[in-house]
A and B are shown apart, each in its own frame.
Chain A
Amino acid sequence: MIPEITTLTIAGLAPRIKTGAVSPVELTELYLQRIEKLDPLLNAYITVTAEQARSQAKIVQSEISAGRYRGALHGIPVAIKDNLATKGIRTTAGSKILSDWVPDFDATVVTRLKNSGAIILGKTNMHEWAKASNTINRFFGAIHNPWDLNATPGGSSGGSAVAVAADMCLASIGTDSAGSVRTPASLCGIVGLKPTYGRISQHGGVPGTGGHSINHFGVFTKTVEDCAYVLEVVAGHDPQDPLSVDAAVPSYTDALGRRSDSLKIGMLDTYFPENMSREVRRAFDVALGTLERLGMKLELISIPHMDLVPTVFACTMRFEDIAPHDRYLRTRPRDYSPRLLYNQISSLTIPEATYQTAQKVRQLIRREYEAALAKVDLIVAPTMPIPAPSLEACERGYAEIDGHKVPLQDSRGNFLTLFTIPFNLTGLPALSVCCGFSSSGLPIGLQLIGAAFQESTILQVAQVYEQAAGWHKKRPEFPSTE
């Protein structure tokens, strides 16, 4: 007997799957039915691999019945962002150009998920080439936020976040070159982790969907504990990705429950405070109060060159991510949406010397973060400056915030990713966990950032916070689709 789908977690299901109390075949069917019911409203999936999932579930079930249980993800239905190669399943990167591409290999994370016995339900919708955060996709349609169908779920991994938030899978994988995991996790009220640069192999990511030095693969789940389970499976060195780091993967689940009451938590004195909306500030302040009540010590910290983060980021992202598009720009330029085409051509004008100068400033900023993280155990900040703007606001290019019209895109870049890009530049691990809701019922995210490879500490504190705050128990409701 499977409980109500909205209450399911990996941690709750795994022991029941292991003993045979829950059947992976029935579980997979339940999620496929949920996708059939809700995806017409949400548009989280580009491709649903129902038949492959059913076949895989039968294999998994017979393995478990025969006593060959592989671990916590065995029999767990998951989804994959559509810019990760999946053997025999089309992989579009949300683009027209790759709309018929069927890879003959799996991305390493997909291989690892398959080897763990996870069941892949399909490929999730995303912003075209992962190049923005509103997930209004001209070719595959806009994705809708489960908490308000007129609002953006964020992006570019919007489909991966929505699939988890609306219980259309138990976990999903996304990519994050500017906040594309943490942004939609925040706007959809779930957990999103971008680990340290090099912690998860990027082999099999579609080139041109994130600059090579700022892109990361990440994990979406409903709870922090589930995130630890998935990270344990997908993390680790991969000889096929020269940028993946050859460091041991600790047991992230073992770190959960460790004492957190003596930890020092840093907050930046600039940048974040001046850019967050009143509603985000209110939720953030309450979250800080919760951390203090849990015994953690709060401390203000400074990053002297923080104001240069958006400029360094914009230059790095645009310069690094243009080369993989060269052949498409020469052969199929009008198969990009117009705005993206113009951005791509503009990126071609950045001189190498400017990029190198940006990398030197980036190094300065990285060292400032290292110094700050030598004084505190973690840094906290809101994940986003505002709750989810409407899809209409994203289309027109500005949102009304605290009585002011704020452009969502300006010369500094994307307003929605202002709080997440510092950790793409530094490569530091960062996780978003829900820390409350706006007056209109939209989720707000708290971002926890650690020193390189300190995912265990982040997960430990995030779980203590999550359990104390209890926001993860709140679930979106949907209009009847009967």
Chain B
Amino acid sequence: MKELIRKLDKEYAIGLNEEEIDLIARQAEESARLYQKLYEVAAAEENSVSKCDGGEKQ
């Protein structure tokens, strides 16, 4: 993840220091671990687009 953050830092020309890269990488890794459990849900058949239907329920 650190390498990805370094790449983004370069691409966006932000100028992050090592401490900042470390912190962001840890944060991103933690989130990525969390998101992994979404792949374990049996939701493959679900549509990935959401829409609320209009109108008042009678």
Contacts and interface: CB of A to CB of B under 8 A. Distances in A.
Given A333-B12, A358-B38, A248 B27 contact: no
The A interface, classified by DSSP as helix, strand, loop or mixed, is helix
B38 A357 contact: yes
B18 interface: no
A196 B56 CA distance: 11
Contacts of A348: 8
A349 B4 contact: yes
Interface in A333-374: 333-334, 338, 341-343, 345-346, 348-350, 354, 356-364, 366
A232 interface: no
Which of B14, B23, B43 has the most chain A CB atoms inside 10 A of its CB? B43
A246 B12 CA distance: 40
A198 B52 contact: yes
B14 to A, nearest CB: 4
B41 A361 contact: yes
A357 B43 contact: yes
A329 B34 CA distance: 25
A198 B38 contact: no
Interface residues of B, number: 38
A184 interface: no
Interface string B40-58: 0101101111101111110
Given A342-B23, A345-B5, A411-B30, A453 B38 contact: no
Given A345-B14, A364-B41, A451-B57, A196 B24 contact: no
A318 interface: yes
Contacts of B23: 342
A338 B23 CA distance: 11
Which of B13, B27, B41, B55 has the most chain A CB atoms inside 10 A of its CB? B41
A49 to B, nearest CB: 34
A377 to B, nearest CB: 10
A346 B57 contact: no
B54 A247 contact: yes
Nearest to A312: B38
Contact of A311 (B15, B28, B37): B37
Interface of B: 1, 4-5, 8-9, 12-16, 20, 23-24, 27-28, 30-35, 37-39, 41, 43-44, 46-50, 52-57
26 contacts: A213-B50, A245-B54, A247-B55, A247-B56, A311-B34, A312-B38, A314-B34, A334-B14, A341-B14, A342-B20, A345-B9, A345-B24, A346-B27, A346-B31, A349-B4, A349-B8, A356-B48, A357-B39, A357-B43, A360-B43, A360-B48, A363-B47, A364-B41, A412-B34, A453-B52, A454-B56
Interface of A: 196-198, 213, 245-248, 250, 305, 308, 311-312, 314-315, 318, 329-330, 333-334, 338, 341-343, 345-346, 348-350, 354, 356-364, 366, 411-412, 427, 451-454, 456
